[in-house]
Amino acid sequence: MARKLYQMTIHELHELLKNRHISSRELVVSMFERIDAVEQRVHAYITLTKQEALQQAETADQKISEGSAGPLTGIPIAIKDIFCTAGIATTCGSKILENFVPVYDATVIKKLKQQHAVLIGKTNMDEFAMGSSTETSYFGPTRNPWSLDRVPGGSSGGSAAAVAADECIAALGTDTGGSIRQPAACCGVVGMKPTYGRVSRFGMVAFASSLDQAGPFAKDVTDTALMMNCICGYDPLDSTSVNRDVPDYSRALVREVADLTLGVPKEYFSGPGMDLEVEKAVWHALRELERQGATIKEVSLPHTAYAVAAYYLIAPAEASSNLARYDGVKYGYRTPQETGLREMYELTRSEGFGAEVKRRIMLGTYALSAGYYDAYYKKASQVRTLIRRDFEQAFQICDLIVTPTAPTPPFKLGEKINDPLQMYLSDIFTIPANLAGLPGLSIPCGMSADGLPIGMQIIGNYFAEETMLRCAYCFEQQSEWHRKKPVLA
């Protein structure tokens, strides 16, 4: 049976568009027909921008007719609702920004528009990117397309679910402690967190400034490389942006890993929360890469056990500072009750923020308070340095590190929402890369007995995205996991 347009990849659609076999308008209409059919059940989006998308498609078709189409020209892309979009609401999944409409575009949005990609909507997310299940959104949870009673992961669960459900061709997300890689694993798609500083954070609403990084979700590794080619690069508007040339990542897509040594950290496979099906699937993938010529070597990351504790001091502390701007005065929600200044601050934040955001603000404020800074934040920062050194030592004997992306397949909606500690452990394998500022990628590598996706994480050294993509591409070409699709009638 012939595939629908919305089921195809960026590189497949680019050929059809370039050769004038289809128009961008046809593609966008097909995409919104798909959204109309399944969105009510999945709830991947907060805002849909159909009229704007059709106008952008018309412009894209004109560029194609002029022979100036890039790889993303006319391609429908979904945007996590944490990136500022001029004239379109940017809510961060929060009541406090429910009616906030930016007057400018984030740098990554500008880059997509320069390529004449079609932006079809803003995806659902955990409030202010705080969560691992997309259940803390003020606008309600997103459901996993593979099983509607399961979470899609988080905080970028809306973007991951939209790609998996064919409600977009590719999407943007952000990753602070695993928020691209973990939902990518839960939804059976490819998700990549670049090296910290590789992608501009200008116009991306801040959660934890030293950890946040934008990155793509895609249906396969080739599309991931094409998205990376678009969004990476130096930005003088972002003081943390790295002024370094961006390679053509699509040139890294070769089926050759014989020169690579893959490190397997023993600490990632020995924890009590590891699901046996996940462990088996990742090891099966490793053996396949070994058959393709890669060398497998055990490495040690001894401070991994302290990563979650360090992260949940550093990230809330930075969030406490970043979220202080939401006071009911500058922009966003303001309590309708006429009160004094202090009461207005208190009521605005009490009514505007959800429970998880309040929890992290309180934790972060406490960790930064006089008398506790040295005992908590400073100590967590020291542990962060030790974790970074663990990786530096490991990369002296291996080229990449391969681990499970998440310790379990996607869990049920409501299962962990009232147990924050269990929820936080969902990111135990992804957090260390954020603390160290390293790039990471999740690729589908298996399925559980319940028919739920399992992801394998590939971590590279700083700016080693090309090597990661090459390894992922080689595995993908030997497997069929990325071709499997959830059934949404």
Q: Which residues are catalytic?
A: 80, 155, 179
Distance CA 175, CA 466 (A): 19
Distance CA 125, CA 92 (A): 7
DSSP string covering 224-249, please?
A: HHHHHHHHBS--TT-TT----PPP-G
Are the beta carbons of 192 and 441 closer than 8 angstroms?
Answer: yes
Q: Which of 440, 422, 132, 458 is nearest to 289 (CA)?
A: 458
Is residue 314 exposed (0-12), middle (13-18) or buried (19+ Cβ within 10 Å)?
Answer: buried
Helices (H) and strands (E) in the chain, counts: 15, 11
Strand order in the sheet with 213-218: 45-48, 118-123, 76-80, 170-175, 213-218, 190-193, 440-447, 453-460, 400-404, 261-265, 295-299
Which secondary-structure segment (H or E) carries 431?
A: helix 431-436
Which secondary-structure segment (H or E) carries 77?
A: strand 76-80
Length of the chain equals: 489
Are the beta carbons of 120 and 28 closer than 8 angstroms?
Answer: yes
Distance CA 61, CA 277 (A): 46
Token readout for 6 is 């919305």
